[in-house]
Amino acid sequence: MKLNADEQAMLDGDGAPGAEARQKAMNLLVRYGEALGAEKLVATNNVAGTAGSSSTFIRDYYAKDGDGERDRLFSRFDLDSDEATDHIPVARTFTCHLQTRIDPDHAEMMGTPSGAVEFHQEGQAHSASLGVQLLNTCTPYANGNVPVRGEHCAWMESSAVVYCNSVLGARTNTEGRESTAAAMMTGKIPYWGFHLPENRLGQHRIQVEVEMDSVMDWGMLGYFTGEAVEEEIPVLTGIEAPASLIRHKHFGAAAASSGGVEMYHVAGLTPEADTEDRAFGPNKPIQDLKYGPTERRRTYETINASGHSDDVDYIMLGCPHYTIEQIWEAARLLDGKRISTNTALWIFTARQVKDVSDRNGYTKTIEEAGGVILTDTCSAMSAAVPKGTRVAATDSAKQTHYLPAITGVEAWFGSTQDCVEAAITGKWKGEAP
């Protein structure tokens, strides 16, 4: 890999404050980039990862070597180094924290041990001291971190990566804890994959032949798309309904879950697909697929395959984290109602969205109906559902995909309205569109 003078100085250890940690970070990026066949690094000023977060298990694991202290832990765990360093310098580049595993305000309700909360809070303080912005959400693009078209980023979290590439036209691969920590320390990331324009072109064509009028429609199409193209790049044609942040959010999250989609184009809607020809460039479609009423019905049945009992215990909304518009919708659906004594309703969002919800009175409306708004995490991330849950329901194809595997519950997928009705009646009545 070719390094410029700045990168070589970091790799050599230039004697600047924090040089040892930057040296470890650069060493990691060179090893990682070379394994991928990258020829160089690219500068980034936008990192989204989990820098500084760890669990009590990780602390105890490294404490055996005497490396349980925060900076030493960071160098061992986040920078994947065999040797610890005592000084981690402040981030060299803008870095935000993604979702965590803990909502400290609802730890007891989620069954989080108190020692874990305390350690988590110390970790958050450490991350903040390093200059990490504590957004604590899987939707940084809806919460103040909105990269511009062509911007090189280093993001983790599959649903955020696919949004970043496809909807914003910014450029990122799906990075990991260590590579985002190294990017944060150096302002660099290997130049490969989605950073290269030629790797962003369409590979499969999907002709959409049904109306795409709801968030649920977009979630189902995303799920179908991921199953069909796996990790490759689809170009969707025939969609005339206007898209929105929420529709893209649910489409991308579903496509990244049922497959490994990191980028998609919607002809005429997404920034690198103003025309279908431009989306494909010189590529010929590997396959030409159709998404009509039959495919939509089959997809609905696939997503709902784990749902058997109509008696619903738990309604989970907010995957990916709800926007303020979605919380407003939930509040309107719940206004003046009361959820069944047999169900629990948890809505997950970012802290800053909850703050607006509080000020707008939506939190009060939702709480008066018996629901709870949680932040920083979700049921899948924290592997936490209300005690005794056997059957869950959600408006997220992604969450329906993961929740049964992670928590062992049955899960139904439907519209937000289906879910709220299930919360109120305790019965699942959702139907295929």
Among 317, 381, 391, 424, binds ligand F3S (CB under 6 A): 381
Mark residue 57 as left, alpha or beta (left: phi above 0; alpha: psi -120 to 50; beta: remaining).
Answer: alpha
Among 59, 76, 354, 398, binds ligand F3S (CB under 6 A): 398
Rounded Cα–Cα distance for residues 386 and 388 (Å)? 6
Rounded Cα–Cα distance for residues 382 and 380 (Å)? 6
Segment contacting ligand F3S by CB under 6 A, of 41-49, 51-59, 192-200, 375-383:
375-383
Using rule CB under 6 A, residue 378 touches ligand F3S? yes
Whole-angstrom CA distances from 80 to 58, 76, 256 are 13, 5, 26
Smallest distance from ligand F3S to CB 396, Å: 6
Using rule CB under 6 A, residue 348 touches ligand F3S? yes
Using rule CB under 6 A, residue 167 touches ligand F3S? no
Kindly state the number of chain residues that form the binding site for ligand F3S, as judged by CB under 6 A. Answer: 14
The span from the first CA to the last CA of the chain, in angstroms, equals: 52
Neighbours of 305 (CB within 10 A): 12
Among 321, 331, 345, 393, binds ligand F3S (CB under 6 A): 321
Among 320, 371, 414, 430, binds ligand F3S (CB under 6 A): 320
Query: Would you call 233 helix, strand, or coil by DSSP?
Result: coil
CB 358 within 8 A of CB 365: no
Using rule CB under 6 A, residue 419 touches ligand F3S? no
Mark residue 221 as left, alpha or beta (left: phi above 0; alpha: psi -120 to 50; beta: remaining).
Answer: alpha
Segment contacting ligand F3S by CB under 6 A, of 164-172, 231-239, 358-366, 378-386:
378-386
> By C-alpha distance, which of 263, 205, 266, 259 is closest to 398?
259
Q: Is 20 or 103 the residue whose CB approaches ligand F3S more closely?
A: 103
Smallest distance from ligand F3S to CB 380, Å: 4
Q: Is 30 or 253 the residue whose CB approaches ligand F3S more closely?
A: 253
Smallest distance from ligand F3S to CB 381, Å: 5
Give CB contacts under 8 A, 24+ apart, made by 17-22: 17/87, 17/89, 18/87, 18/88, 18/89, 18/90, 18/185, 20/85, 20/87, 21/74, 21/75, 21/79, 21/85, 21/87, 21/88, 21/89, 21/185, 22/89, 22/92, 22/185, 22/186
Using rule CB under 6 A, residue 162 touches ligand F3S? no
- For residue 400, give the H/E element and its range: helix 397-407
Within residues 280-319, the interface with ligand F3S by CB under 6 A covers: 318-319
Smallest distance from ligand F3S to CB 411, Å: 12
Q: Is 101 or 205 the residue whose CB approaches ligand F3S more closely?
A: 101
Q: Is 43 or 383 the residue whose CB approaches ligand F3S more closely?
A: 383
Beta bridge partners of 314: 344, 392
Alpha helices by DSSP H, listed for 37-144, are: 56-63, 70-73, 114-129
CB 413 within 8 A of CB 395: yes
Q: Is 165 or 186 the residue whose CB approaches ligand F3S more closely?
A: 165
Using rule CB under 6 A, residue 253 touches ligand F3S? yes
Among 10, 30, 138, 393, binds ligand F3S (CB under 6 A): 138
Contacts for 310 with CB less than 8 Å, ≥ 6 apart: 427, 428, 429
Using rule CB under 6 A, residue 191 touches ligand F3S? no
Beta bridge partners of 371: 345
Within residues 11-40, the interface with ligand F3S by CB under 6 A covers: none
Using rule CB under 6 A, residue 331 touches ligand F3S? no
Using rule CB under 6 A, residue 99 touches ligand F3S? yes
Smallest distance from ligand F3S to CB 257, Å: 8
**Binding residues for ligand F3S, per CB under 6 A?**
99, 138, 159, 253, 318-321, 348, 378, 380-381, 398-399
